[in-house]
A and B are shown apart, each in its own frame.
Chain A
Amino acid sequence: MSASPAGTPPAAPIIRVTNLSKTFRTLKRKPGFIGAIRNLFSTDYEEIKAVDHISFEIVPGELVGYIGPNGAGKSTTIKMLTGILHPTAGEVVVDGLVPQKERGRNSKKIGVVFGQRSQLMWDIPPGDSFELMRKMYAIPKARFEANLKQFVELLALDEFLERPVRQLSLGQRMRCELVATLLHDPKIVYLDEPTIGMDVVAKERIREFILHLSQERGTTIILTTHDISDIERLCQRVIIIDKGCLIYDGTLAEIKRRYGRLRRVVFSLAEGARPGKLEESLEQLGSGLQAETQEDGNIVVSFDPQQVAALTLTRHIVNSYAVSDLAVEEADLEAIIREIYQQGMER
């Protein structure tokens, strides 16, 4: 890890975001046929606050997960950090530059991988696109070749380096995208859904590479993803954003400590049995118990072991209902995050 050794002052942040806000205006659309005609002449706009007074700092070398439910404002924030969008209010400083004012210079220091969109030329081998990058970022030939050699080796690219990009699988393509982004030694890399749609083997490969990037090269990495295992594997620190507001900024360990205390009892009932009065009977046991019936018929009860002992709860369930199968589980990170998304957090 690249945390500073004890006794030294904390490193200066490489990214500083202060009270960042972004508001959009969209046309209100009316439904239906008549509405379609009225839309032609309307001037009804509504304002949407995509990002609402967000502040955070990132020091060099950090690997940060920037997550939130869909529509939370993640990509909007990233766009402001990379210089694509101009903030409505607030301040962004990236390695001493304001991206809004110095787009070109900022671009030279960053790399961006868009998970859904390719930056490689489609019909020719990736090597040609790399060559384009060399010219575009004015990378000295020696450095370029050293980097290329290392990446090709690390990601096992030589099998398909000569094939046109359109013939590559998703995993192969993403590896090439990463290389294309890194050839110019960017200080900061923004990864938007880099493992989306991949099989487990491909995902692991990408993750290992990202770790290598962070640990061996000290690149600052900001990762946006919906894949919880990505976060678990890679991120020391997690920033959670929802409805434009920052709702959590801290380490993964902290989240688990605060919310991971929740455990679950998952059970299913025998054929024909019904979980009558489950809520009421649970209330008698203690507070903080939540029951939920899943689609597959299983019933999940979340509980806080400090309020109600696992054994007490289990015994109660088995005694009250005709249980056919039962398991006690740790709350997984995915459940925790889901809960945070659904309910916001107690601040």
Chain B
Amino acid sequence: MTAKPMTGIRESVDRQIGVIAAAVKQGLAYRFEFFTAILGSLLTMTLVYFLWTAIYNNATSMAMSYQALITYVCLGQAFSFARPGQRYIFIRIGFGIRSGNVLLDLVRPMDYQLLIYCETFGAYLLETLLVSLPAYVLALFLFRINLPPSPEAAIGFGISILGAFFLVSSIDFLIGLMAFWTMDIWGVIWGLGYVKIAVLDILAGTIIPLTLLPDWLQAIAAILPFRSMAYTPLAIYVGEITGRAIWMNILNQFAWGIGLVLLTRLIWLKARHRIEIQGG
């Protein structure tokens, strides 16, 4: 009797890996896109480096050391927190609905939400390995950003990044779900996508470290979940969060993550009922 659930899980994991692998291959399919993504990432990171160096040089006083600042922003740029390249989910869902392909996805043995997450993870994996890591290496050698202050920080960073990915994907998925309710898919999704990025920019610490915000803004940012999407992993790496606080923050991250996943689950179930197909 215990054999069945085990093979069920095995199958499910197999399927997930299959979807992830397919997403990775898909990402490699366009060579121009691939190379410009890497070059673009290096270029944007370099520009960010110069901007913040200038800000630091002009600052009367700063709450962060130069090294910490540079490490923070370069890392943030390298790991695509501040780059608006994560439109993947929007495109996937929006297009699926527009063309009616979403029906195909729904008929598959795999849960739709899980499917989208896996595909996104595949794309993310590819981007991290082939775009973020080269940028990171460049920043290490060219801009002399810091290495993590301790193995604890390094591990914490790794886990926290995954948590951040998870959180951001959930929000993206949530926005994408809006497509199931509105006829004007592109307008709403793009629009909300912009809001997401704008909000993230400030409150998540993607383009400006939270430490540098005025106190009242920092207080607001502290209670919102957005900080876990960028600030937490970056701060762990840079050493702003140390020791036990690292794991506390990660716990916080995952708590919000689970909460968000539950929320998206609820809304997804409602969306499934609400299938209004356009096209054809």
Complex contact B34–A33 (CB within 8 A):
no
Stretch of A34-42, A223-231, A291-299 that contacts chain B: A34-42
Say yes or no for B10: interface residue by CB 8 A criterion.
no
Q: Which residue of A lies closest to B279 (CB)?
A: A166
Stretch of B25-33, B48-56, B75-83, B131-139 that contacts chain A: B25-33
| Bound: A55/B34 CA distance, A | 43
Complex contact B29–A39 (CB within 8 A):
yes
Complex contact A33–B25 (CB within 8 A):
yes
Q: Which residue of A lies closest to B21 (CB)?
A: A33
Q: Which of A132-188 contact B (CB under 8 A)?
A: 166, 170
Q: Which of B143-162 contact A (CB under 8 A)?
A: none
Chain B residue total in the interface (Cβ 8 A): 9
Q: In the assembled complex, which residues on chain B have CB atoms less than 8 Å from the CB atom of A166?
A: 278
| Bound: A36/B29 CA distance, A | 7
Q: Which of B27-48 contact A (CB under 8 A)?
A: 28-29, 31, 34-35
Interface residues on A, range: under 10
Complex contact B25–A36 (CB within 8 A):
yes
Q: Which residue of B lies closest to A37 (CB)?
A: B28
Q: Which residue of B lies closest to A29 (CB)?
A: B29
| Bound: A170/B279 CA distance, A | 10
Q: In the assembled complex, which residues on chain B have CB atoms less than 8 Å from the CB atom of A170?
A: 280
Q: In the assembled complex, which residues on chain B have CB atoms less than 8 Å from the CB atom of A39?
A: 28-29, 31
Q: In the assembled complex, which residues on chain A have CB atoms less than 8 Å from the CB atom of B29?
A: 36, 39
Q: In the assembled complex, which residues on chain B have CB atoms less than 8 Å from the CB atom of A33?
A: 21, 25
Q: In the assembled complex, which residues on chain A have CB atoms less than 8 Å from the CB atom of B31?
A: 39-41
Most buried by A among B21, B25, B35, B280: B25
Complex contact B34–A40 (CB within 8 A):
yes
| Bound: A40/B29 CA distance, A | 8
Q: In the assembled complex, which residues on chain A have CB atoms less than 8 Å from the CB atom of B34?
A: 40
| Bound: A278/B28 CA distance, A | 53
Q: Which of A21-40 contact B (CB under 8 A)?
A: 33, 36-37, 39-40
Q: In the assembled complex, which residues on chain A have CB atoms less than 8 Å from the CB atom of B21?
A: 33
| Bound: A33/B31 CA distance, A | 14
Q: Can you offer 16 A-B residue contacts whose CB atoms are under 8 A?
A: A33-B21, A33-B25, A36-B25, A36-B28, A36-B29, A37-B28, A39-B28, A39-B29, A39-B31, A40-B28, A40-B31, A40-B34, A40-B35, A41-B31, A166-B278, A170-B280
Residues of B within 8 A of A (CB): 21, 25, 28-29, 31, 34-35, 278, 280
